Chain A
Amino acid sequence: MTDTVQGVAPSTPVGPPTDRPKIQVVPLKGLPLAAAAVVFVTVAIAGNWQWALMFCHVAGGGLWTGLDLFVGLVLGPILGRLSIPARAEFSAKFMPKMVIIMPTVVMMTLATGFQIARKLGNLYAKSPNHSWLIVSFCVVGIMAVIALGILEPANIAVLFEMNKPVPNGVIIDRLMKRFIYTAGITGLMQVATLVIMTRVATQ
């Protein structure tokens, strides 16, 4: 694998194009873990198993919020300042993991969260938490549209572009900017989620 550095003439493709290992867009080693999470959540919902529901919601939600905040507000700005080859190198290792981790923690959080809200009576219009939950649905809805409609397609398209014999830096740059900006927006929206969830838990 040949690294290019800043200062190299930008019009020159550097290094042999065929010596890079293919990037595995979906890391197969992670699939059993994701499948185990799906089975665990299904059992928790089917059995109305309170501890398991709470565990999935708190653990999944904590990971989802933490990852979104870290990627959006810490990693994103750092990535934005790296050279395109450095971004490509980092993304080749980082993004396939996100393809498995993010949908799994989001599924764990949302599926069990709805069940907990229903079980605790927070969905009833008379509940003091009802309006907070509706706001939470809206925040999650906006994040879902951004993540599924913009962020995830950009993530996967970057990986496919990097698997080409000579990846196009302009396309990678354009898609990575989309990834960085949308990750920043979802990171900020997670702050709203933290406020809402701590209000719900303490009312």
Chain B
Amino acid sequence: MSVDQSQSTLSSADRTYPPIAWLSTGALALVIIGGILMASYAPRKAPLGVAAGLLVAGVVLLGSAGVVLVGMKDFSHKTFLKVFKWAIFADLVTAAMIEFAFVRDSTRGASLFIVTGMLVVFTLSVPTTIAFTVARFADD
């Protein structure tokens, strides 16, 4: 396989970008902690205040990543969108399966609302991290 091992052709490797992947992975970590909290109380009702706080913090981190992404120049938005749409398809299947399990287990009301919010953050954060990691090294 032909691979350029040159140390001088580092243009795409050397570019520095804002910490988009850290922000989206941070959002993922927060909703996973929230999910563990909710699951550890099942079938009892989890303390929704803490779970809601984690969800809001996750939304803020993911929103920040989105705002920074939209305003970025010298970045392949085309590659980002191409990867994002495929990755979100895969994560939608996973999120739908988790939502189905919670609904099947009679999760209702505010608990279901928070779980759904967490799954939305999950479904958006993973493709964001994947698509950003690919697009930051894109040449176009």
Contact flags B111-129 to A (C-beta < 8 A → 1, else 0)? 0000000000000001001
Report the minimal beta-carbon distance from A183 to chain B, rounded to whole angstroms: 16
| Majority SS at the chain A contact face | helix
Partner of B3, one of A26, A137, A169: A169
A149 within 8 A of B: yes
Closest residue to A41 on the B side, CB-wise? B97
B57 within 8 A of A: no
- B residues less than 8 Å from A36 (CB atoms): none
Q: Which of B21, B24, B25, B101 has the most CB of A within 10 A?
A: B101
Closest residue to B26 on the A side, CB-wise? A149
- Take A42-B100, A103-B94 as given contacts and tell me if A149 and B5 are in contact as well, using a CB distance cutoff of 8 Å: no
Partner of A164, one of B32, B33, B44, B139: B139
Q: Is the CB of B2 within 8 A of A15?
A: yes
Q: Is the CB of A10 within 8 A of B5?
A: yes
| Majority SS at the chain B contact face | helix
Q: Is the CB of B134 within 8 A of A92?
A: no
Interfacial residues of chain B within 13-40, with CB under 8 A of chain A in the complex? 13, 21, 24-25, 28-29, 32-33, 35-36, 39-40
Q: Is the CB of A169 within 8 A of B98?
A: no
Partner of B101, one of A11, A85, A115, A160: A115
Total contacts A-B at CB 8 Å: 154
Q: Is the CB of A153 within 8 A of B6?
A: no
- The number of chain A residues touching the other chain, given as a range, is 35 or more
Contact flags A27-51 to B (C-beta < 8 A → 1, else 0)? 0000000000010011001100000
Interfacial residues of chain A within 152-203, with CB under 8 A of chain B in the complex? 152-154, 156-157, 160-162, 164, 166-172, 174
Closest residue to A8 on the B side, CB-wise? B5
- Take A2-B2, A4-B2 as given contacts and tell me if A154 and B133 are in contact as well, using a CB distance cutoff of 8 Å: yes
Report the minimal beta-carbon distance from A21 to chain B, rounded to whole angstroms: 11
- Complex CA gap A107/B86 in Å reads 18
Q: Which of B3, B98, B134 has the most CB of A within 10 A?
A: B3
Interfacial residues of chain A within 102-161, with CB under 8 A of chain B in the complex? 103, 107, 111, 114-115, 118, 123-125, 133-134, 137-138, 141, 144-145, 148-150, 152-154, 156-157, 160-161
Give chain A's interface residues, CB within 8 Å of chain B: 1-4, 10-17, 20, 26, 38, 41-42, 45-46, 84-85, 88-89, 92, 103, 107, 111, 114-115, 118, 123-125, 133-134, 137-138, 141, 144-145, 148-150, 152-154, 156-157, 160-162, 164, 166-172, 174
Nearest first, the 4 closest Cβ-Cβ pairs linking A and B are A149-B25, A169-B5, A153-B133, A15-B2
A-B contact pairs, 30 of them (CB 8 A): A4-B2, A4-B5, A10-B5, A11-B6, A13-B2, A13-B5, A14-B3, A85-B2, A103-B90, A103-B94, A118-B105, A123-B39, A123-B42, A124-B43, A138-B36, A145-B25, A148-B126, A149-B21, A149-B126, A152-B130, A153-B21, A154-B133, A157-B130, A160-B134, A166-B4, A167-B4, A168-B12, A169-B6, A170-B9, A174-B13
